[in-house]
Structure 1
């Protein structure tokens, strides 16, 4: 299970473009719109794809028939009850209650639920899951729809979750340790700093005292009745919704919902479901936190709204969200330009309008920077907001934003009939919990096409006057604490706020760029051979051999209407470099693709690509040089042009490389202060002792010494011969178009008959029995890694068996370490045998735990390994592994990414592509003896025992 905190506490990079077509808006359900999607008066419609209903007990349901993937239904139980509703004696128990629903219910005694679901191929964690937030709890269950018995069981499970947890004293006590271990995984610098400033985000608010994970003290000591009371008060049908999206007719699903949830009762005297807000405050609050284990420096500015969030109930409300979205797009385009400068003020920065916590929305600006750059980053964010306030955006920026906005909606519209159910179901969860709009892709796209031309730049420019204000404002700075580093003061922050407000900020200059990727087309080559490869059930792949020797291999699919995926490789990579050259360029290779392309910088490229969807990125790996990308079918020519230019016209761009180095220093500078990362680095260094090419984590001095000039020359060498490359395309492909594009942009590349391969290294990492103890960190946290590795002859059957051993062992580790011992939150094993550059096996067990439990849990883990060595896995566990793999493969067969990997890997590993047809037969053929044999062969020759312990 995973616990979600408020969106404001997340700082994911995706927020760089985090405006959505629905914003953080809310709407009211209008069942009359379900049938036609029409717009009576000015009300926002609800997609006709969904059926929404309500039972007499108040439970809401959402149903949509969706055939992708086949024979599966995504079920969700959403409850408007989270940690914010806890009383003082219940702190952490909303989340604890979530755990208890997996540990003893009316129809499934302790552990039976997970055991049953694993028995039908559903994996705990990967498929079966749940989360608890401040305001909600959501249970996640994908279930087969082609088996009536399994489907009935799925709805029975949802019914148990809705209020039939047994909550016995014994079950509660046994789960305390697991939840405390989850609590332990969250300890660290981020949590310590957050604890000190959350009360300023949630000013005078209950939210500041109700983090979903709770407190260790209460988790250890709460009374049984406290969690039972939480269930009794809040697990009630009038606060619930059941969402069912998948490959089954609506009528059948509706009958299942009514039969399973119609008899649920609300309490006779239900507690009111109160809403808790955050108060406004005068002036500006400042929080400055630093910590010895902080890995990065961040700057956050919140201009909090003073009123309630605006709900989106009408088309006009929705239009307002579109206007906000265009604003977000343009401000973030400007901020992105800063991150590409030679000495950027931040690694990345973004701004957007959205919810922060409870009833509070805010205009927010964020940046991640280096340890000494917080004030420079803060200045940049403030100045860019001030620049927009004084001068507004340019007409040219506005037109690009509208193009980008529309092309994304167009892609969603074109793919609307190819969406997987697990990507649809979340919309209805959020509609129930937050009343987010669900008008559907068709309405959204058609509305945008019609209305975008009517939106004026002045409307967008006027928003920031309401966004920015001097009161109800918060500035948060977080970063590392270290010797020689001066901590920013509150006085400095306040002075900078005042300085920027009074400063002379100049207007933004939007420099024009060319409109096309290539100004002239290259002289065409030709297709000298076309082979149609019929692979029985795989359908055909087509290989085009070009006049320069290059091969284009493609597979047409109908999995997505608006997607083409691309990959390419040639053997060699940096393995062909001398040791001396490799060490000089190891930290420079990553910056090669940051350079301008035929004179187009990254900022120029972003402008030129407005309204287009295509990307390509080259890389030099250890054993091959590669390109990877994707495109909308309509922009496939742009993708081909980028391929051509990356071979012929990647510029040597010292300014772009300087920007890359600056950002790498900022990103990597303190990453090793995180105990877990430090542990991983120590293990890597230990295993690679004596490796002449091992570089580890680069220091600032290493980055300064990186030889960009040599890396660039090596790049030109590696991409000099296109004839040595295979180019792969999978998706919605037009035969005639791809042939013409291949002749124009790939066959025209320099190429010859020279064929290279990679160089096999002479160094081999340590194998056998070793022990490594790393002491790092101040919290009572440990990490354990047990690993077996060594050289072997590659064997496909053994590779399957060793992978299956890891899956079977993972089941046992969860049972033993988590459910029986209560000593871990999660544990798992991984096993593989690789073919390139030489046959090698790797097998590992890893888990976090309390330091005092390390030895006990290692002993328990090794005991489970020895059971497999002596007897093989149990029949039940092997059956679970097989069913999970086959169920996962069934979904993969309808994914472009899967087929791209299959086709490429067959060539890269020089294996038979038809092996994919035998997957089911090969998995079903695995026996206990097969798994026992590989366990005996690979897991009896000593292992590395690596342990992370806190500092003494």
Structure 2
């Protein structure tokens, strides 16, 4: 054995890995410079081209999901291009695209799309940024007329928005309400620190939402001028990915978009810079509604454009640096006296802008921890700069990266169309690579090995410099929050650069999850539901296993497990401990491995399992690739048999929550949610209100560990459901080994009804909180009811009809809200009941008018039911949803678990179609009368505090 091999072998033993993996981090590979100079190729599966007028198109056939396509219109124009008199009009123009075009008058566009099953907001949408505007249109493709009309919609968005004066004026209120809905501490503070972060740049003056003054008073011609100047073919791309014929689609795009001429006398589409600066800039911003201190440390850099294969290789090195440092920060976060609550670092574009990159650290701290947090993150940066990362860190992270790419590669034939369409939009707008996973996977296999530790380590000196440095501190405006001055910030950064810092030690205390294989159980019973392709096993210890193999995704197996009981079985004195129990135990790791040790052992494996204890049940959820199914089952076994108890991790838990909880109620939204939960459950201890520091003081580690062992000490009443790409016969031995060996005492238990109930009659509550001129409104109907699948579906359909009606009434007609949330649910346990909730934000002066309009719509539905057009929209959306759910592992997992939980015979997901087809207007009327009773509801309104 030569000396070099001996060194590699010894390192491999210490790390619990292979000689080949150690060599992966150490062996430099010479890559021909000429090859790395080659441009990054575009995915060969996409057809792209440019029309004579300058419009770019991307088209790709992709069958996941079937009979669906994702369409995008990307416009290389956003708020940065607005004149002073147009602030907010890039975003306003996006809104107007839904309010009248040449071929779709007023709301016809939304009405048509809803009629073919496309929901407004949930599916159909758009967004405006500083530099771009993107329209999002997912559609069914099983009918040619839908494809043709959808392309006509994209064409109208691009060239034929009408901007009728009356519609512009109606939309002003909607835009103002959208701006109002976003007003909170984070946005107010951003307005204050953006001028520092974007110093001397136009980006500081062009937040896409705009200004009230312009939004309320701009002349109609201003928005028409913006549209005319910037919505033009040379600044646009049409992207279509899905279950389509590429040749036919290309011809349709050429016919639809090629008939428009290139714009004459065009304005130059300038790029706007974020200027460099030598000094360190500091912004310290307070807001009394902020919930905890936050800190940003940015080192601004010139944008790293990804053009060549060499650029791609360099990005791999950057990704490794980011990932390894984040793992170090995660370890610090898990200390008993952690220096911050959360922390992360990244090298990416500054605030998502193409104008500038930044090496950035983000962290949150407790009230007194800002100085320590800043010092720690600055020292960790300096530690890497001075000492670099270790061989073992690089080995492990390379293994993780390779596994990640391998997962995506193995799933390549079932990749969702949305993944591709987003890549092509980014390729058009920001020249981001869109090579396809086949090329990426081969590229990383070829080049990952050659990226050396020295190559990664040298990045720190490039990134961590004194020029172009910005520190942003945001915090609650209260005396107990201790913040450094600007001079102190600069002193901390200077001290970190000369601090006595030792190299990081990468400790590895375990090399495998399990040293010994458990003694396997046996299969006591087996049955099949042939119609559903489901196999049910009962193991010798009583564990029930439900198996549904699918071919929906090549590289996915999902697991869910449950048992009746939950924390309802524990006394009120134990309640706060019980609710936190699963988190406390999870933070502590497994067996003799801490959470940090566990992460290291799991490097390169694609499996995870998490345990939960909710009010009525306990259980687990997990996910794995077929290759790592056994690892997921080993984790499952250990979750039952070897929970780890750690005082240090418990103290870290307490430190984090003691930092989070004190100021949560400073946020009006948190306060509103807390008060609503209390009112809805008559201030029940277990009613879901936000926990406090006083509640945290009642949490006990020993009791948490006892509760966990009690809940997971008997597997005999657990049901496991597996859905995904596996063979039943091949997985049986693993199930017998890891689930059949779980402890079993065969006790009989059920959950307990803890007595939470909504108040009866009409209950109104007025709250006062917040400085923004914004009111929050919640109207809730809830009561006991006899459950049936039919009634449950009628209630859900009623909520969808109500959503359509309130959008048209409160938003489009009155202009009083940006959006309205409507939700409905039924519960069978611990007692049969329902809840129907309506909520929105609005101007305080409009609350009464909007509430009255809401009740008016309810009464219309009670009297006349749904109009046929609205009913048709809801039914078609449900048909389409069922159609896609039939090919989704997650939907089958949920459906099967629900059936077994409630003791029902499992059925196919599309059996619900019978309920959909039978739904009529009278059902909606009956549901509205039954559930939305005007003598039994809760109304909570939170208005802002009076002006000082």
- For 1:350, the equivalent position in structure 2 comes to 344
Contact 1:285 1:473 in 2 (8 A): yes
Q: Please tell me the root mean square deviation across aligned C-alpha atoms, in Å.
A: 1.5
Contact 1:541 1:554 in 2 (8 A): yes
Instruction: State how far apart, in whole Å, the 2-side matches of 1:881 and 1:522 are.
Output: 51
Match for residue 512 of structure 2 among 495, 500, 516: 516
Cα distance change, pair 40–156 in 1 and its aligned pair in 2 (3 A): farther
- TM-superposed deviation, 1:311: 2.0
| Cα deviation 1:361-419 (Å, max 9, x = unaligned) | 11111112222211111111111110001111100000001000100000010111101
- TM-superposed deviation, 1:631: 1.0
Instruction: State how far apart, in whole Å, the 2-side matches of 1:311 and 1:916 are.
Output: 47
Cα distance change, pair 97–643 in 1 and its aligned pair in 2 (3 A): same
Contact 1:583 1:695 in 2 (8 A): no
Instruction: State how far apart, in whole Å, the 1-side matches of 2:907 and 2:555 are.
Output: 27
- For 1:150, the equivalent position in structure 2 comes to 146
Contact 1:778 1:950 in 2 (8 A): yes
Match for residue 661 of structure 2 among 668, 687, 699: 668
- TM-superposed deviation, 1:692: 4.7
Instruction: State how far apart, in whole Å, the 1-side matches of 2:322 and 2:173 are.
Output: 44
- TM-superposed deviation, 1:296: 2.3
Contact 1:57 1:262 in 2 (8 A): yes
Does 1:236 pair with 2:232? yes
- TM-superposed deviation, 1:874: 0.9
- TM-superposed deviation, 1:347: 2.2
Contact 2:567 2:613 in 1 (8 A): yes
Instruction: State how far apart, in whole Å, the 2-side matches of 1:484 and 1:397 are.
Output: 39
Cα distance change, pair 508–610 in 1 and its aligned pair in 2 (3 A): same
- TM-superposed deviation, 1:221: 0.6
| Cα deviation 1:925-946 (Å, max 9, x = unaligned) | 1111112112111212321111
- TM-superposed deviation, 1:576: 1.3
Contact 1:379 1:496 in 2 (8 A): yes
Give structure 1 regions of 4+ aligned residues with deviation exceeding 4 angstroms: 38-41
- For 1:255, the equivalent position in structure 2 comes to 251
Moved more, 183-192 or 53-62: 183-192
Does 1:341 pair with 2:323? no
- For 1:742, the equivalent position in structure 2 comes to 735
- For 1:886, the equivalent position in structure 2 comes to 879
Report the TM-score, using the length of structure 2 for normalisation.
Answer: 0.94
Cα distance change, pair 297–486 in 1 and its aligned pair in 2 (3 A): closer
Q: Secondary structure at the match of 2:102?
A: coil
- For 1:20, the equivalent position in structure 2 comes to none
Match for residue 296 of structure 1 among 268, 292, 295: 292
Does 1:529 pair with 2:528? no
Instruction: State how far apart, in whole Å, the 1-side matches of 2:458 and 2:466 are.
Output: 17
Does 1:712 pair with 2:708? no
- For 1:646, the equivalent position in structure 2 comes to 639
Match for residue 58 of structure 1 among 54, 58, 72: 54
- TM-superposed deviation, 1:832: 2.1
* Number of matched pairs: 910
Instruction: State how far apart, in whole Å, the 2-side matches of 1:717 and 1:41 are.
Output: 61
| Cα deviation 1:91-120 (Å, max 9, x = unaligned) | 100000000000011011111111111111
Contact 1:772 1:946 in 2 (8 A): yes
Instruction: State how far apart, in whole Å, the 2-side matches of 1:291 and 1:158 are.
Output: 42
Match for residue 364 of structure 2 among 347, 363, 368: 368
- TM-superposed deviation, 1:188: 1.6
Moved more, 576-585 or 204-213: 576-585
Moved more, 402-411 or 827-836: 827-836
Match for residue 219 of structure 2 among 219, 223, 231: 223
Instruction: State how far apart, in whole Å, the 2-side matches of 1:913 and 1:694 are.
Output: 32
Does 1:554 pair with 2:554? no
Unpaired runs of 5+ residues, structure 1, are 1-37
Instruction: State how far apart, in whole Å, the 1-side matches of 2:355 and 2:746 are.
Output: 66
Q: What are the within-5 Å matches in structure 2 for residues 250-649 of structure 1? A: 250-305=246-301, 308-356=302-350, 357-535=353-531, 539-649=532-642
- TM-superposed deviation, 1:579: 2.7
| Cα deviation 1:148-189 (Å, max 9, x = unaligned) | 111110000000000211111111111100001011111121
- For 1:863, the equivalent position in structure 2 comes to 856
- For 1:8, the equivalent position in structure 2 comes to none
- TM-superposed deviation, 1:753: 3.1
Instruction: State how far apart, in whole Å, the 2-side matches of 1:182 and 1:579 are.
Output: 42
- TM-superposed deviation, 1:756: 1.9
Instruction: State how far apart, in whole Å, the 2-side matches of 1:698 and 1:579 are.
Output: 14
- TM-superposed deviation, 1:40: 10
- TM-superposed deviation, 1:555: 0.9
Instruction: State how far apart, in whole Å, the 2-side matches of 1:698 and 1:914 are.
Output: 39
Report the TM-score, using the length of structure 1 for normalisation.
Answer: 0.94
Contact 2:547 2:728 in 1 (8 A): no
Instruction: State how far apart, in whole Å, the 2-side matches of 1:458 and 1:58 are.
Output: 45
Cα distance change, pair 906–303 in 1 and its aligned pair in 2 (3 A): same
- TM-superposed deviation, 1:734: 2.8
- For 2:119, the equivalent position in structure 1 comes to 123
Contact 1:814 1:828 in 2 (8 A): no
| Cα deviation 1:594-636 (Å, max 9, x = unaligned) | 1120011111111111111111111111111111111111111
- TM-superposed deviation, 1:584: 4.8
Instruction: State how far apart, in whole Å, the 2-side matches of 1:318 and 1:827 are.
Output: 44
Cα distance change, pair 271–688 in 1 and its aligned pair in 2 (3 A): same
Contact 2:776 2:840 in 1 (8 A): yes
Instruction: State how far apart, in whole Å, the 1-side matches of 2:719 and 2:231 are.
Output: 57
Q: Secondary structure at the match of 1:783?
A: strand
| Cα deviation 1:734-781 (Å, max 9, x = unaligned) | 323321111111111111433322112334221321101110000000
Instruction: State how far apart, in whole Å, the 1-side matches of 2:218 and 2:566 are.
Output: 58
Instruction: State how far apart, in whole Å, the 2-side matches of 1:916 and 1:710 are.
Output: 41
Q: Secondary structure at the match of 1:766?
A: coil
